[in-house]
Amino acid sequence: MASVPRAGVESLDWPLMSNNITAEDRQAVIELLQGDPILTQSAQVAAFEQEWSAWAGVKHSVFVNSGSSANLLTLAALRETRGPGEVILPTSRSSWISIPAAWAWTRSRSCAS
């Protein structure tokens, strides 16, 4: 059964997205990349980490590319400071926690969640 738009609605055929990156935006990126830019771990990242640390009231902050990398870094830091051990994970989980846990700890086991 085909759906019929309500009165006053011409169509329900809506685009999922439209191109919202302007020609001006693309030109700015092209100009940036024509030099030899540092795209990761630049002085700007270090400055931002310092600003964030001050705002958060902590000595240090480290920014990473994703939550998965943050999990891996956190578990690696725990292993380095506490030594290898065991981590207990929920039975229902994703690779974003399973892989870092398997890498960082000698043993991991599941528990019912």
pLDDT one-digit tens code per residue, 53-81: 999 999 998 888 888 888 888 888 888 88
**Residue (of 106, 109, 104, 107) closest to 79 by Cα position:** 104
Q: Tokens 């006053």, residue?
A: 8
Please write the tens of the pLDDT for every residue from 2-22. Answer: 666 677 777 777 777 778 889
CA contacts within 13 A on the Cβ side of 56? 11
Answer whether residue 113 shows pLDDT above 60. Answer: no
More confident residue, 78 or 101: 78
71 closest CA partner among 97, 94, 93: 97
Mean pLDDT for all residues in the chain:
80
Kindly tell me the sign of the dihedral angle through the C-alpha atoms of 25, 28, 34, 39: negative
Q: Tell me what pLDDT residue 20 has.
A: 84
Distance of alpha carbon 53 from alpha carbon 41, whole angstroms: 16
Q: Is 14 helix (H, G, I), strand (E, B) or coil?
A: coil
- pTM higher than 0.75, yes or no? no
**How is the chain split into domains, by residue range?**
22-63, 65-113
